[in-house]
Structure 1
Amino acid sequence: MGAFELEHLKQFTLTRVLNDDTVFKSISLLGKLPSSNPDSEPVQSIVSLQKTAFDPNNASSIIPTISKIQLTEVNDIYAWMLGWIRSADGTYLDADVKISVISPATDVHIRKYSSQKHAMISETPKLYEKVTKPFIDAFPKSRTQWVQNILDHITETEDILFEDPSPIHGFVLLPDMKWDRKSLGSLYLLAIARSALIRSLRDLRKEHVPMLERIRQEATRVASEKWGVPKGGLRFYIHYQPSYYQFHVHIVSVEYSGFQGMSVGQAHLLEDAISLLELDDGGPTGIFERMTLTYILGEQHGLYTPMVDAGAEI
């Protein structure tokens, strides 16, 4: 993806609204943006906008026009930036909109960002082996290229807060792009495991407890030293199903309550996962591989139809 400027973003042509979330004050738009290759046709793209908190002291001077952007990061097909709305006297206030771009966007991205109905799925070990594991095995590597870029120090290198280089139990810790890097109440970090063999919660074994404990330890230390976050000020959780299959841990401020991904039915507390693994007998199959896991699945998710066809309990 080429360099982003305001004029490039303004060339976005809308195809349709994918989702309008009034609770989280966000909207996802499907359309087209110019290709980085000037000889190519515009490429299908998704632009998501989410309002940041307004300063009530400046509310009367804000007009609904983005007149400046600041690129935060570009990684593979993803880009994140901050947008400004010019005040009546021509000055710039703090950025009041977070913008993320996926360009080119695949059909999988479109389904993910579209409004959809959801169902609770009870995934037994048998269903995992029959439906979910083959789905994960077929997951395109291109969907996690941005993760590999981070692990290989191609992108976001300057953002890495801590790194354990071990190929087996190592991980990197860095800010999540959902965070504006300013508001401590919405602090959001991400720890990504280096091992490609740990793809989801199901792959965790008792041997991974030291890695999980170190993720908790180092994230707590970094958040305290860098931002003054007190002990007990972070929430650690693991998604199942995750949006991509390279094991990772979400780390957010306990004050952060505006993210749907923290809901029961998707988020599993890291501390609970560690406790279960410590109780495991260390046999050939891990405790999470033997459990029935119940979670929320959208009808646009690639697992939804196979699960229904396989007779999953909904």
Structure 2
Amino acid sequence: MSSEDSKTAELQILLKRFVYSRTLSDDQLAKSVCLLGHIPANDEAVITDTNRAIIHISRLPIDPTDISGYRSVKNAQINDCYHWGETFLATTTGDRDCKVTLLYPASKKHLNKYDKQHNYVTIIETPEMYQSIVKPYIDFNISEGSINWVYNILSGQKEQEQVKYQNSNFLAIPDMKWTDQSDLKSMYILLLFKDTRLKSIRDLHTCADLDLLKSIKVDVQKHVLKQYGDLPLNKVKLYFHYQPSYYQLHIHIVHCDNEVNYKSMLLGKDCHFIDTVIDNLEMNIDYYKKCKLVYCLNDDSELYKRIENSE
């Protein structure tokens, strides 16, 4: 059995064993649903930290309760807890073609990210809070293996066939959200920094960091966008998130006309455009070490609980 056949068989088996619990989100605009359940190891009937599973189904305007199975999985890929591929979704009205992503075993952080039943609160993070609360949380988060999938890509172990460009400083790879790469207006590319010292924009505080950001703009135009019909730089948005969803510095490259992933691009969702970051560092190279950063947190997230317990 080939490596691709093995991945396909594994994903097919996991999807078949998935036991639905509830719907985490149902986004009709993005045509996607996110389902919570578990994949029992010993016929257990309840969700635990070791059997929790989350399935994200994209480009599918459908009632989640109509889903009855997953058939004919193909083009499967696996990186750490992430499994994804294409499948025919069995429903009460017939089979539907879609892309499916399975997170298994899914962590509590994954659950907090996708569950829309929680409330969000605004955090004003001071430099002191970052040093005493947030940085220790980041270190703990990494030690728990939450970004092993990123390290797998950076080390060349996984998803190398997807990498569109890389040099000594970064690599560019399509995000799983970009389900139809023939549609440029839905472009969504991740630019992953290779320097593991850089976890978030808080770590940008040297002249070398500033020069790197400036060079990235040139490289994105010259090497990444050139692969997509010489798309001009002013047709994409380059931005960071803070707080990011994972702690290896990365930039989102998204087409300006992308409406499907609009939620990720709103300023209210803690976006920091690369030009603004460059400008701030030019004014004060220690800007992100000294400034307050405002963002929203899920009130059931581990970081929020740590901040609350410190007060």
Secondary structure at 2:146's aligned position in 1? Answer: helix
Residue by residue over 1:1-57, the C-alpha shift from the partner in whole angstroms, topping out at 9 and shown as x without a partner, is 96235742233221222223344332211223477xxx9989431111122699xxx
Contact 1:46-1:110 within 8 A present in 2 as well: yes
Provide the residue aligned with 1:124 in structure 2.
Answer: 126
Provide the residue aligned with 2:18 in structure 1.
Answer: 12
2:136 and 2:264 map into 1 onto residues whose CA distance is 24
1:27 and 1:52 map into 2 onto residues whose CA distance is 7
Contact 1:122-1:294 within 8 A present in 2 as well: yes
Q: State TM-score, norm by structure 2.
A: 0.82
Residue by residue over 1:115-174, the C-alpha shift from the partner in whole angstroms, topping out at 9 and shown as x without a partner, is 211111111112212211111121134111111111111011122222122xxxx11111
Structure 2 runs not aligned, ≥5 long: 45-49
The residue type equivalent to 1:173 in the other structure is A
Provide the residue aligned with 1:29 in structure 2.
Answer: 35
Query: Which structure 2 residues correspond to residues 1-314 of structure 1 after superposition, within 5 A?
Result: 3-5=7-9, 7-8=12-13, 9-33=15-39, 43-51=51-59, 67-84=71-88, 97-115=98-116, 116-141=118-143, 142-165=145-168, 170-180=169-179, 181-205=181-205, 206-228=207-229, 229-259=231-261, 260-265=263-268, 266-280=270-284, 282=285, 286-311=286-311
1:73 and 1:302 map into 2 onto residues whose CA distance is 29
1:53 and 1:184 map into 2 onto residues whose CA distance is 21
Report the structure, 1 or 2, having the larger helix content.
2
Q: State TM-score, norm by structure 1.
A: 0.81
The residue type equivalent to 2:187 in the other structure is L
Secondary structure at 1:140's aligned position in 2? Answer: helix
Contact 2:32-2:61 within 8 A present in 1 as well: no
Structure 2 vs 1, CA of residues 64 and 125 (structure 1 numbering), >3 Å: closer, same or farther?
same
Contact 2:56-2:101 within 8 A present in 1 as well: yes
Deviates more, 1:77-86 or 1:180-189: 77-86
Contact 1:112-1:300 within 8 A present in 2 as well: no
Provide the residue aligned with 2:47 in structure 1.
Answer: none
Residue by residue over 1:87-124, the C-alpha shift from the partner in whole angstroms, topping out at 9 and shown as x without a partner, is xxx9x9xx853311111112222222212111111111
Residue by residue over 1:242-283, the C-alpha shift from the partner in whole angstroms, topping out at 9 and shown as x without a partner, is 011111111111111332222224111011001111122x4x
1:84 and 1:225 map into 2 onto residues whose CA distance is 34
Secondary structure at 1:24's aligned position in 2? Answer: coil
1:51 and 1:66 map into 2 onto residues whose CA distance is 15
Q: CA deviation at 1:212?
A: 1.4
The residue type equivalent to 2:279 in the other structure is S
1:96 and 1:279 map into 2 onto residues whose CA distance is 51
Residue by residue over 1:64-84, the C-alpha shift from the partner in whole angstroms, topping out at 9 and shown as x without a partner, is 986544335321110222345
2:37 and 2:203 map into 1 onto residues whose CA distance is 37
2:254 and 2:215 map into 1 onto residues whose CA distance is 16
Secondary structure at 1:251's aligned position in 2? Answer: strand
Contact 2:16-2:69 within 8 A present in 1 as well: no
Contact 1:70-1:82 within 8 A present in 2 as well: yes
Give the paired residue count.
Answer: 286
The residue type equivalent to 1:164 in the other structure is N
What is the CA RMSD across the aligned residues, in angstroms? 2.9
Q: CA deviation at 1:85?
A: 6.5
Contact 2:164-2:224 within 8 A present in 1 as well: no
Structure 1 runs not aligned, ≥5 long: 55-62
Q: Percent identity?
A: 30
Secondary structure at 1:10's aligned position in 2? Answer: helix
Structure 2 vs 1, CA of residues 145 and 40 (structure 1 numbering), >3 Å: closer, same or farther?
farther
2:155 and 2:12 map into 1 onto residues whose CA distance is 32
Secondary structure at 1:28's aligned position in 2? Answer: strand
